A and B are shown apart, each in its own frame.
Chain A
Amino acid sequence: MKDIDLTVRIGRLKLKNPVIVSSGTFGFGEEFEDFFDVSRLGAIIPKGISLKPMMGNPPPRIFETEAGVINSIGLQNPGFEEFVKEKLPYYKNLKTHLIINFFGNTQKEYIDLARRFDGIPGISGLEMNISCPNIKRCGIVFGTDPRMAYRLVHAVRKATKLTFIVKLSPNVTDIVRMAKSAEEGGADAVSLVNTFRAMAINIQTRKPELGNVIGGLSGPAIKPIALRMVWEVGQAVRIPVVGMGGIMNAGDAIEFILAGASAIQIGTANLVNPRTGIEVVRGIKKYLIQNKIGSIQKLIGAFRG
């Protein structure tokens, strides 16, 4: 095999390939050890962490739709202290980038967490979640108001020297405006999209299918919308865009890269085919070889519309 260059950059971060696994779909990483060498990915993003532990939403938390899943997990996580004590040591042998996804209920909590993670060795970057659709208070105001988003990003930027990615919600009037706010606030990159607010009703019981009534839709069903948003945001900002939304295989990943994504995230696909991540890395390489393109960088945003 020729010498294909799959390296991509997000701010100061150099990733060996553009394939990242999405927070909430990859546990803490150890669950995938049996399936493939996780260090072969460009980066991993474990479950999002909050200052205090969160119990999560009552079940049912999952409902399958046509080519998709609605989830209302509710950000269940062990909290910062427990994460650092029990989960962080596992990453000592990880030979790829670890990006921590985090969120808070107030601006103060976001800053506090960012500051705490800043001092921990072995962390390559932070992904700030301002976009959870199934928690009433968590960041949902930050995620929909451009001015609040700008203020939050600006404040958190000052609290950390790590590569700082802002994860955007698609449940907004104008995602381009949100992306620009994040860029102006000093984010190194934006990642999009998080899940779309959705629900389902059981007509036999006449009750909602999810314990939390509303959840977030993900999977192939959302790909066309996610792709369009990635393209629009990529046209509007100069910082790198990390694209996600329904990516199931290398072909999907390449669509997002052509649309302007410097890197992509695999989410729902991990649940269905745990080896999706490594298969997408191989698939992208194969595509470059077949099309006689020496470097993935030539593909980023190659579609100009």
Chain B
Amino acid sequence: MLLIALLLVPVATAVASFFARRRAAMEAANLVGFVAVFLIAIVLAARVLAAGTVSLANGFFYSDALSALVVLLTASVALVCATYSVGYLRDDQQSGELGDDMSGMEQMAQLRMYYTLTPLFVFSMLFMAVANNLGVMWAAMEVTTLASIFLVTFYGKVTSLEAAWKYAIIGGVGLSMALFGTLVAYYAGRGLTGSQAISGLNWSVLAQHAAQLDKTSMRLAFVLILMGYGTKAGLAPMHTWKPDAYSEAPVPTAAILSSALLNCALYCLIRFYILTSRCLGAQYPGRLLLLFGLLSMGVSVPFVLAQKNFRRLLAYSTIDHAGIMAIALGLGSAMGSLGLMLHMLFHTIAKPLLFLCAGNVHQHFRTDLFSKIKGGVMRAMPLTGVVFLLAMLAIVGMPPFSLFQSEFLIVRAAMVGGHTLTGVLFVLFATGVFAGVLLHVGNLVLGPSGDAPVAPRRPWRDGSLLALASALVVIAFWVPAPLLELVRQAARVVSGQ
């Protein structure tokens, strides 16, 4: 019942927004819907903590601690972004960003599209996280792309069409590879009883019998899956769609793409990693993940250092963090898995916060370029400036912020596990990104101020900013016990220990 409600609420929200006639009704539908989704996600997490797993409809829906954590994170990001987008889109409408020569009707149509597609986008992510069947999981992942393409083209500019085209085509090829991989994994399980029936693709069944899967097929399947879902996660060299999509999409959408969708893509990788490591041992999938992870971290360094556009800077930072999480998964140890799940949690708080700050700056200064803003964000918009600085320190892994803890844990896991080279490169690349982000964002916020006017108060946007920022600060010192337990259990699902 709980899982059904989790999926029905966003769909109902989308339908309500689609038929709403006034902007206020759409905003209200979205807010109410996402508050409900958030509450359901908390209840689901509590159930999973109590019972271990929750499943429904003969195991068609299945949720263990890993799914519950992904669902909870997705729901939280969606709620914060829904609050933020109220203020953000009102500002866009007033300032004519939606299109200069647009009539009221056309503007409404565009807002309707946003408020309808966002719940559908969230729905597909939630569906993916609770689908037991690997084929259904794939289909839901494809729907995430389809639902978000027109969010990327929201502003209808030349550049946003280009970004959406890259996103659609690169994502499409990537997902077809993931489907091929899913297919081969299904073939690998053909010897199991009842594999012709629907349960043959159920993850919980395959995971139980992972040792009996056909080894050659699983080898091929994992490569295809890594390329496929790696494209969605934005691992290098399949990352090229990311900076474009993130810098062209409306900021709340970009925040969801960079945190919740990244988690979902990693979730798919994790599911297959578990199957593959149980079938072939942890070394084969681990090495591949370490390779792609280090490559992603390495690729992001020069682009962060030489970046001119702050939203693209955040995109490269996300590629860096996708790499970090791939490495944590590839280490395969219990410590690495714990680092992975903690990092996923912490990153999902810090990255949307950065995007929301970037959105405030973008809307105030009407540009994304460092060279045009020069500095003075702190003077023009003190709250955004302070939060931007805090979130930036957090994302590069400065203590006392929590990402330091998770990254430290991952490096330690690498060293203890004998992956010295990985550990050294990790620290090297992380330092590069650290320098780049610190330099650029530090200048942006603290640099000499131009003649930009002081920003007015913005209750919706500042409220969501403050909520997320306090979560960031609080979690640096104190993780609530049930949440920590959920993270631990999720890590246990990953490492199998």
Q: Do chains A and B stick together as partners?
A: no
Chain B residues proximal to chain A, CB less than 8 Å: none
